[in-house]
Structure 1
Amino acid sequence: MTAAAREILEIAGRLHEGVVDPDMWKQGIDRMCGMLDTPLLLVGNITRGGRGVSFAFGHQTDPKAVSLLEGPLADPAHNPWLSLAEQHPLRRPASVADVGGKEHLEGSRIWQDFYIPFNLGDTAAAVLERQPEFSNIMVMGRRAHQPEFKSADMKSFAMVLPHLARAWRVRRALAEMEEMAGTLRFVLDRIERGVIVTGPDGQVRFANRAADALLSRGQGLDARQGRLRAGRPRHTDALLSLIERAAATGIGAGAVAVDALALPTGDERPLAVVAEPLAPAHGGALGHPAAPGAVLFISDSKGSTRPSEDRLRIVYGLTPAEARTAALLVAGHGVASVAEALAVSPNTVKYHLKTVYGKVGVSRQADLVRRVLADVGGLAEPDKMVPSGEPSPRAPVGD
């Protein structure tokens, strides 16, 4: 094996390890740039038509240069390289000759605004991948004092390209999944109801913030060595059986699609646990293959909070007195106990209640409770909610 071949294998290995290890990715790019003797490298996307350019990765690249390429020079009329995104064969190196030659390039705006100011002499590029809306492109450049890219350079470039394209595609897909996972976690953490995803044996795969708080209290439900456990062995058996039945749904076991149980907590009200399946047969609905398991939705009356007066005032436009009345009614109080709590007459409560009904759009207390809990109940961090047009609460310095 030649030294060049060993070098390319080393680069390929580092790039593929770099899919999950940023340090290895940087080392792979460094080695590739060293082998090709190019100090400048950019990887990014070009939209259909070539008028939208964004670079996700750069090596020894001046931020001002990137801003130019993404801004004033993101136009095929000024930047001949953009035409490669739709026309050039995939993973085949392109030279200046492929964009009209050096004379044509020197007559374009990119030469005056980019090549000369940033001391570039020659560039090469390749299209790594095409998607319906955009193409991934890689561009590398040499300084004006360096020799131009020769056929041997382009041959080495071509040998590295398939490894670079494959690693970049996987790296980008993982980044998109991590972004989506972060978004979903953010959303689920804003729900007061506990949400736990488990394996078929009760191993916890995911728990939102409300579920973490519930498990930490250990009243009625906790997790030992990552496996769910109820307060008593027989309740644990019932919980694990519930999870097992849900996990088996859709794969021939004939289990119900949704099932539930109540777990005693030692307080007045038990935990209500509803299980839904997460089985391979439901991969179509999920949009991806699913490992067998269950999703548990846990109602915890002790851990949840009723909608605050401020939240009711903001959402429905209630006055402070109306919001206080509505909050007590939603919490289960009758007219008499609301009047006693607010130190007003029952007729005053009825007057406020009539106005509240009109603003919320209901005609009786039971409908009020259902509407309020459906609209604004179950959301975490109600103190961060502000009316439209008002400034959001400022976080303390250092958060």
Structure 2
Amino acid sequence: MLDFQTSTLAIHPGLIDTIYRTTVDEGDLDAALQAIAETIGARAVRLIRAGRGEDVVLGSVGPSMDECAEMRRRRTDGSVLTDGRRLVLSTTTSTASDTASPELLQSLLCHLDRAVALANRLSSADMERNIGSDLLERLSVGTVFLDAERNVVTMTGMASTLIAAGDGLRLRGGMISALCGTEDRALQSAIKATLSHPENGPSDVLRVHQPRCERALGIVVQPIAKSAQSGGIACALVIRDSERTCAPGEAMLRKLFDLTPAEATLTSILSMGLTLDEASAELDISRNTARAHLRAIFSKCGINRQTELVRLVLTSVAMLGKGVETRRAA
């Protein structure tokens, strides 16, 4: 447990802030250890994760232990966690410059423990968010996040592309709106209703027409429970352009279904809804050749109809891997 009242901390007013800023905000643990070394007059400082096998050095500044063999080495152990691990702060100083009390070192270790845990948690959250956003991008799904005043907080790349096209949706005054007045009133009403009932409000679904391409965007207004809200985000708009077809990467299809390059190419094209004749024309091959490839594909996949092939591909993990291509329907 952190003790912010420890008297020894009063003589180092900016050190705690430096530990959190460099470790959490900048992701530079060594910079935090360097600040500690300069404050307490240490030649070397190391933060180690001990227990459950070989110790792991998380950060280190200063000469190696061998170079500091003649100096005073101190070890401060943190609390043992449920997984049997603990953090250890190792400092090496000359006897004359060693002014750090055991209480100060223990307090610094507590702050380092908190800062490292917070940095890891934020890094994991960022990774999960990036993976989720990447998967949605591959499925041609865009997401716009709004705050409680309906202002746009952030949006994914696909959403930015759809809105930047200015066909159906637009960004005006920091808010998202539909070009058509009637559809915009429906959109704003759905957003307002969702924000009014974040805990148990249902998702609302609507369509926004795109005058330029004479198609429509599907939009789900998704409530976000107050317990899950963060960074000012209060609700989300999930946007899907049904005319953007996603084709799985051919390399993934080859590996997943043991297809040849030609068979994987044909499978990828057919999964976008093209007929066999259209696929033959796009690949510049005869219909008989395409049919021969299709029979081989059916045999390898254990199916006997093209509709089954499309369903098999679209529900497979091939749609989620890197290499997925997005095309606009003709």
Q: For the superposition of Structure 1 and Structure 2, which TM-score range results when normalised by the shorter chain?
A: 0.7 to 0.9
- CA drift of 1:11 comes to 3.4
2:130 matched to which residue of 1? 185
Q: 1:372, CA displacement in angstroms? A: 1.3
Change (3 A) 1:358 1:27: closer
1:228 corresponds in structure 2 to: 176
* CA distance in structure 2 between the aligned counterparts of 1:325 and 1:60, rounded to whole angstroms: 59
Tell me what 2:155 maps to: 207
Q: Which residue of 1 aligns with 2:218?
A: 272
Q: Does 1:40 align with 2:39?
A: no
Q: CA deviation at 1:185?
A: 0.8
Contact 2:33 / 2:46 at 8 angstroms: preserved in 1? Answer: no
Distance 1:361 1:307 in 2: 19
Match of 1:127 in 2: 77
Change (3 A) 1:352 1:38: closer
Q: Secondary structure at the match of 1:130?
A: coil
Secondary structure of 1:118's match? coil
Verify the 8 A CA contact 2:246 2:324 in the aligned structure 1: no
Q: What is residue 4 of structure 2 aligned with on the other side?
A: none
How is 1:115-194 mapped onto 2 (pairs within 5 angstroms)? 117-133=67-83, 134-143=85-94, 146-147=95-96, 153=99, 155=101, 157-159=102-104, 161-162=106-107, 164-166=109-111, 168-190=113-135, 191-192=137-138, 193-194=140-141
Contact residue 313 and residue 319 of structure 1 kept, 8 A: yes
Q: Which residue matches 2:297?
A: 356
Cα distance in 2 for residues equivalent to 1:334 and 1:6: 75
Find the aligned partners of 1:239 and 1:355 in 2 and give their Cα distance: 48
1:344 aligns with 2:290: no
1:57 aligned residue (46, 56, 59): 59
Give 5+ residue unaligned stretches, structure 2. Answer: 1-6, 326-330
Letter in 1 for 2:169: L
| Greater C-alpha radius of gyration | 1
| Conserved 8 A contact 1:12-1:28 | no
- Distance, in Å, in 2 between the alignment partners of 1:326 and 1:4 is 69
Distance 2:266 2:30 in 1: 61
Identical aligned pairs, as a percentage? 18
Matching residue of 1:82 = none
**Amino acid aligned to 1:371:** L
CA distance in 1, matches of 2:117, 2:177: 38
- C-alpha distance in 2, partners of 1:33/1:320? 59
After superposition, the C-alpha distances for 1:284-336 in whole angstroms (9 at most, x for unaligned) are xxxx9796623433222455443355554443233344345434433333345
| Distance in 2, Cα, partners of 1:298 & 1:210 | 9
The answer on whether the counterparts of 1:248 and 1:292 sit within 8 Å (CA) in structure 2 is no
Contact 1:357 1:364 in 2 (8 A): yes
Shift of 1:12: 3.9
- What is the distance in 2 between the residues matched to 1:339 and 1:40? 69
Shift of 1:124: 1.6
SS class of match (1:270): strand
- Equivalent pairs, count: 312
1:57 and 1:213 map into 2 onto residues whose CA distance is 41
CA contact (8 A) 1:189 1:380 kept: no
Q: 1:26 to 1:363 in 2, by over 3 A?
A: closer
Higher relative contact order (CA 8 A, sep 6+): 2
In angstroms, what is the RMSD of aligned CA positions?
Answer: 3.8
CA contact (8 A) 1:8 1:160 kept: no
Deviations 1:329-384 (A, max 9, x none): 33333345455554524x6544433332232333322222222122233655448x
Distance in 2 between residues matched to 1:186 and 1:244, nearest whole Å: 29
Matches within 5 A, 1:229-268: 229-249=177-197, 251=199, 255-256=201-202, 258-266=203-211, 267-268=213-214
C-alpha contact (below 8 Å) 1:273/1:299 kept by paired residues: yes
Quick check: 321-330 or 129-138, which moved more? 321-330
Contact persistence 1:43–1:137 (CA under 8 A):
yes
Q: Distance in 1 between matches of 2:113 and 2:36?
A: 14
Q: TM-score, normalised by structure 2?
A: 0.75
Aligned-pair CA distance for 1:279: 0.9
Q: Which has the higher strand share?
A: 2
